[in-house]
Structure 1
C-alpha cells in the first residue's frame, strides 16, 4: 500500500478536526452577536457549509453524466448523517432536541425526502425537477432567517451584552467570526477531499468492488465534515448545533444538491430502479425514525445513538454481502425487514407514546 495513501488519510483527518473546531467557534460567536440561535446557524450556515463536498461531487457527476454517483452520494450521505453522525454524537453526550426541530424541521426534512423520491419515480430528474427542489431550499432558508430575525428582540439584557462583549469585543467582530466560518469550511472541504482520496485508494487496495466504494466510501467521505462538526459541537456543549447541522445537511442534500445537479446536467439524470425500490425507502425509513426518537423526551439518549450505529453496520454489511454475491444476503435482508425493523419500530412507538402522554399530563397539571 502506498505511503501517500496514509498521508492523505491522516492529513485529511487532521484538517477535518481543525476545520470543525474553527467553524463551530465562528458560527456560535456569530449567532450570539446577531441574536440568532445556534439552532438556526446549525440548520443554515453550518449545515450548508458542511454539505459543500456533496454539492461538489454530485454536481460534477451530474454534469459529466454519472447519475448513479450523483444520486447515490446524496442518499448514502443522508443515511450516514442520521445513523453515524447523530449516533456517535449521542454517545459522546445525550443530545437535547429543540421542539422546533421535532415540530417543524424534521417533518420538513421528511417531506423533502418524499418529494425527491416522488420526482424520481419516473426514472430520472429533469431540469424542471431540479428547479422545484432548488426553489424549495431557497424558500425554507428564507423562512428560517426571517422567523429568527423577527423573534429577536431589540432589547437585550445586561447579561446578554456582557456575554456578547466576552464573545468578541473587537469592533470588527462580525468580520472576524465570518472569517472563522469561511476558514473552517475551507479546511473541511480540503480535509474531506484528502480523506476520500485516501479511503478510495485503500478500498481498491483491499479489493472492494466499485459499487461498494460508491455506496459507502464516497458517501461517507463527503459526510465527514458533518461528522467532524457535529462531534465537535456536541463535545463543546453546542448540542442544538450538533443536531441542527444534520437536519439542515439532509435538507440541503435533498433540495439544493439534487436540485442544482438537475439544473446543471445537460440531460436528464437517470435514477436506477434499485435506488427507487431500495435506497430511497431505506433513507426515508431512517429519517422517519427520527420523529419518535426525537419526540421521546426531546433528546437522543446514548442507547438510541447505539441503535443508530447498529443499523448502519447492518446496512453496510448488507451492501457488501450483496455486491459480493453472498447467498446469505437475502436471508439477512429478510431477517432485518421481517423481524428487527418492526420490533424496533414498535419499541420506539411505545416510548414516544408514553413520552407524549407524560408531557400532556404535565401540561394539563400546569
Structure 2
C-alpha cells in the first residue's frame, strides 16, 4: 500500500505541475512575457513546485535531511540527465544573454550553499546546520534575482506581440487550472514525503539517500518532461531556461523557505554532492559559453555522469 500511495503521490505531482505550468504560462502570454522569461520563471517555478512542496513538508514533518537531499539531488539530476537527454534529442542553442547570466547565478547559489553549511570548518561549531539566518540570506539573494528578472521582462515587454485571448473566460480557465494544479502538487507532495520516508526506514536507507534518489528523481520528472517537450518543439530557450531557473529556485527559494521553517541539520556526506553540483554547474557554463550550444556529445557526457553518480551514492550508503 505504501508503494501504491508513493506512485499516486508522484502522479499527482507530475500532473499537478503540468496543469500549473499550462495555466500560468497562458497567463504570462496574455501579460506579454517573452518565452525565455516564461522558461526562467513561470515554467521553472511551476516544475520546481514539487521540490518546494516536498522539501517544505519534510521540514515541517521533522525529516530535515530529506529537504536538503531532495534539492541537491534534483539540481544534479537537472544539470546532468535532463540537460543530457534534452540535448541528445535536439542540440540546445544558447543564444540569449539572459541564459548566459543565469548559469553563473546558479553557480553563485551552489557556492553560497557550500559556504553556509560549513559551520564546523569555518566557525568551529559542533555541527553543520542550515539555520534560519542562512534561510534569510537565500531569500534575500532570491529577491535580487527576481528583481533582475522583472527588470528584464519590463524592458523586453514592448517586443512581445499582444495576445488576442484576454477575454474573461480565458482568464478564468487559466486561473482555475493553475489553482487545481497547485492543489494536486501539495497533496501529492504530502504523499511522497510520508511514504518515501516509510520505505527508506524499512529498507535501511538514510533520509539523505532517499532524498538524493527516490524523492529527487520523482520531483524532477516535471522538469524532464517539460524540457524534452520544449526540445522536441525546438524551443531550446524554454528548455534550458526551465532547467537553469529551476536550479536557482530550488536552492534560493526552496532551501531558504525550508530552513526558515526549521534549521536543517547537514549530513557530512552531502558535502561531496554539493561539491559535485558546483563542478557540474561549471561544466555546464563552459559548454554553454564555448560554442553557444550544448550538442549530442556534451549531452552524452552529462547523461553518463548522472548514471555514474547514481551508482556512487547507492554504493556509498
TM-score range, shorter chain: 0.7 to 0.9
| Aligned with 2:135 (options 123, 130, 139) | 130
**Deviation at 1:120?**
0.9
Distance of 1:272 and 1:193 partners within structure 2: 23
* Alignment partner, residue 123 of structure 2: none
Alpha carbons of structure 1 residues 20 and 264: separation in structure 2 relative to 1, 3 Å: closer
* Alignment partner, residue 270 of structure 1: 265
Given the alignment of the two structures, is residue 116 of structure 1 paired with residue 113 of structure 2, yes or no? yes
CA contact (8 A) 2:54 2:190 kept: no
* Alignment partner, residue 322 of structure 1: 316
Matches within 5 A, 1:1-366: 5=3, 9=7, 18-19=15-16, 21-122=18-119, 123-153=128-158, 160-161=161-162, 164-165=163-164, 168=165, 170-187=167-184, 209-210=205-206, 212-265=209-262, 268-276=263-271, 278-323=272-317
**Deviation at 1:20?**
5.5
Alpha carbons of structure 1 residues 219 and 296: separation in structure 2 relative to 1, 3 Å: same
Distance of 1:17 and 1:214 partners within structure 2: 17
- Structure 1, 189-198 or 128-137: larger mean CA deviation: 189-198
What does the per-residue CA deviation read over 1:283-340, in whole Å, with 9 as the maximum and x for residues that have no partner? 11111111111123322222322221100000011112222xxxxxxxxxxxxxxxxx
What does the per-residue CA deviation read over 1:121-171, in whole Å, with 9 as the maximum and x for residues that have no partner? 112122111111111112211221132113322x87xxx35xx23xx3634
What does the per-residue CA deviation read over 1:323-359, in whole Å, with 9 as the maximum and x for residues that have no partner? 2xxxxxxxxxxxxxxxxxxxxxxxxxxxxxxxxxxxx
**Deviation at 1:100?**
2.6
CA contact (8 A) 1:196 1:217 kept: no
Distance of 2:255 and 2:201 partners within structure 1: 27
TM-score by length of 2: 0.83
Alpha carbons of structure 1 residues 202 and 107: separation in structure 2 relative to 1, 3 Å: same
**Deviation at 1:66?**
3.3
Q: Which runs of 5+ in 2 are unaligned?
A: 120-127
| Higher relative contact order, structure no. (Cα contacts within 8 Å, ≥ 6 residues apart) | 2
CA contact (8 A) 1:95 1:299 kept: yes
Equivalent pairs, count: 308
Cα-Cα RMSD: 3.0
CA contact (8 A) 2:92 2:231 kept: yes
TM-score by length of 1: 0.73
* Alignment partner, residue 359 of structure 1: none
**Deviation at 1:75?**
0.9
**Deviation at 1:71?**
1.5
